Amino acid sequence: MRGTAGGGVAGRTGARRVRAAAGLMLVWVALLWALEAVDLASGHALDAYGITPRDPVELRDIVPAAFLHFGFGHVASNSVPLLVFGFLAALGGTRRFLAVAALIVVADGLGVWLVSPAYSNTAGASGLVFGLFGYLVVRGWVDLKPLDIAVGLAIGAVWGGTVLLGISPTSTGVSWQGHLFGLVAGVAAAFVFRRRPTRGAAPLTP
């Protein structure tokens, strides 16, 4: 009886997490597309909110830049991996996901601000995408959760080559700095927001 009741509660909790994660990421990606539509309608006025390095005034654009893009093709290239990585990350809890995303966006933006070429303008969700990739690949090993380890290995196998290419300094037309700092921030987030075992927790009865 305990196993059946526990399974029912776990099932309902799991279904809620799936709905919450899916809803959050669908809204997030829809916002990116809506902002690009506004940018197009305004004659690309929102492009000014990208990050221009080493200008103190530009520090205010670190967060907005992660939601802006240079054209619909740019948005489209980030949408699928952001949906997939964001959904998988948010299954661990939306509050934890939002904290992870905030750390990645801020750390990545600061890195871009510090080291990107002078007079460049950097925007886009790819820093967050690379960060979530790093977070998902490492999270299972940090939390010691076999299912998350399997998810990380699968993601690494599918997208690992693309990520390596994206952080290569030889890549042209993209901010490899933003990709690299995002990746490092995501790995760091897995440690900063790792699951800590609950002391004195009673074992579950099968």
Confidence of residue 195 (pLDDT cuts 50, 70, 90): confident
CA distances from 147 to 15, 52, 66, 151, 163 (A): 17, 40, 30, 6, 22
pLDDT, residue 9, reads: 66
Which is more confident, 51 or 204? 51
Is the pLDDT assigned to residue 184 strictly greater than 90?
A: yes
User: What is the four-CA torsion angle of 69, 176, 126, 116, rounded to 10 degrees?
Assistant: -50
pLDDT, averaged across the chain: 92
The token duo for 130 is 């690379």
Which is more confident, 11 or 133? 133
The pTM score is 0.91
Mean pLDDT for 123-133 is 98
Which is more confident, 171 or 184? 184
pLDDT, residue 14, reads: 86
Q: What is the pLDDT of residues 70-90, one digit of tens each?
A: 999 999 999 999 999 999 999
Least confident range of 5-14, 113-122, 194-203? 194-203
Mean pLDDT for 78-104 is 97
pLDDT, residue 204, reads: 39
Confidence of residue 7 (pLDDT cuts 50, 70, 90): low
pLDDT, residue 201, reads: 46
Mean pLDDT for 144-164 is 97
- Reported for 61-64, long-range contacts at CB under 8 A and 24+ positions apart, including other chains, are 61/109, 62/105, 62/106, 62/109, 62/110, 62/112, 62/113, 63/105, 63/106, 63/109
